[in-house]
Amino acid sequence: MFLDIVKMPLKGTGGLDYGCRIVRIFRMNCFLKVYGCQMNAADAHLVSRLLAEAGINQVSGSNEADAVVLLTCSVRQRAEDRAAGFARTMRGEGKKVILAGCMGRLRGKELIDGGIADFVLGPDDYRAIPSLVLGKSALPQRPSPNLETYSDLLPSGNNPVSASLAVMRGCNNYCTYCVVPYARGPERSVPYADLERQIRHLLDKGIKQIFLLGQNVLAYHREGMEFIDLVERVARLEGLERLGFLTSHPRDLSREAVQRMAGIPQLLHLFHLPLQSASNDVLKRMGRGYGIAEYEERVAWVREAFPDTYLTTDLLVGFPGETERDYQLTLDAVDRIGFDFAYMFAYSERPGTRAADMGNQVAVPERKRRLAQLIEHQNAITRRSAERLVGAEAEVFVTAPAPRGEGAMLAEMKNTRLVILNHNTRLGEKLKARLVGLAGWSILAEPC
């Protein structure tokens, strides 16, 4: 418990002042832990706001906490295992455990029956968290029927110069391997008026860089406004210096949108386009809605409009029915396209998805072998991509102190490439830097 000691005035009849008395107010300590994607990280700022408004003290370590809230991910089994293991540990230490997010929506009864958590709730039920922490209510037996956007909440933030904001939630794609539509529901976009109010709130707090988020952010559509219209309108808000977005579905990226993006000076030159596989057969079974030729056409549009783009992707190997030839097509595409960075995974069966029931499941050891080879392959490309920049000059934006190295700062180039700046300066400053070398994949820089 967190203890506030306050002086309360004592008033007599007629308003006479008889001094004061000491009152002790106990406040619950809560630890918030996030697993998974950028959407969960953004949701954490909404939950922090809800906790603060309820008078709950958020602490930085679980050892100080009376209650623990976990925002969980179900995209892969490993993420679920980590969250469940931590929840068990916390309950063993006598903490109240509230397991929220995708895992809570998909596996709620199982988690309660297994003694893993005291309460479970999905991504549309975060408003119930403060009452559960305080013990003022029990969780309803059924999940909320509402499809939330939380557009009325003003997010808190833990970075003084950069923030992320969900502009749409849910997904309509139903890729055959993915649980997101089942966990987060169908697509719904936040009204622009609410987004502008949230963004202005962040800008008033000194935020200079904002990322617009969505499971498929290009699918934003509200009141006749498409995503490119939203980006252009947000970029005009006074005080916003840098604007990015995540994550894009390649099928929904148009050449016109890319060309209009090139005319937005605040836009960061980062494009995350998940490929998953370069085999048309595998892409069809995944339900991705594009082939490798269409994907590479979109990459060409992006690189034509943004020659310095930082191109990142997701790659998934070992999908049911993936042959050695299918896998080799992905390796060849990785060489041909030259991604600057990739998030790489072996296929993990997700209960309730169509892929989990497909035949020709690839043996787990073979999935792991393919993943290890792909990682080694892509890592070499990632390093060569960084090496080509050594000796160049670039404008960088300072975002945080470096975790190691006294006086060094973390900074980002216009395309969001991270650099370690050998210079102690204020957060949010832009300055010209020379890229002088590498430490692993990290680019080292010094002020010009």
Mean pLDDT for the stretch of residues 304-309: 97
> pLDDT tens digits, residue range 122-167?
999 999 999 999 987 665 444 455 789 999 999 887 789 999 999 9
Q: 97 has which bridge partners? A: 68
Mean pLDDT for the stretch of residues 34-51: 92
Mean pLDDT for the stretch of residues 87-93: 96
Mean pLDDT for the stretch of residues 251-266: 98
Least confident of 107-116, 259-268, 351-360: 107-116
Position 60 confidence tier, pLDDT thresholds 50, 70, 90: very high
pLDDT surpasses 80 at 23:
no
294, 332, 298, 293: which is closest to 315 by C-alpha? 332
Superfamily per CATH, domain 26-134: Response regulator (3.40.50.2300)
Residue 215 CB partners (closer than 8 Å, separation 6+): 39, 168, 169, 170, 171, 180, 184, 187, 247
Superfamily per CATH, domain 393-447: Nucleic acid-binding proteins (2.40.50.140)
Burial of 358 by CB count in 10 Å (0-12 exposed, 13-18 middle, 19+ buried)?
middle
The fraction of the chain above a pLDDT of 90, given in percent, is 84
Delimiting residues of CATH 2.40.50.140 domain(s) in the chain: 393-447
Mean pLDDT for the stretch of residues 230-245: 98
> pLDDT tens digits, residue range 68-79?
999 999 998 999
Delimiting residues of CATH 3.40.50.2300 domain(s) in the chain: 26-134
322, 312, 336: which is closest to 277 by C-alpha? 322
User: What is the CATH architecture of 162-387?
Assistant: Alpha-Beta Horseshoe (3.80)
Q: Give the model's pLDDT for residue 108.
A: 86
Delimiting residues of CATH 3.80.30.20 domain(s) in the chain: 162-387
DSSP character at residue 59: E
Q: Give the model's pLDDT for residue 26.
A: 67
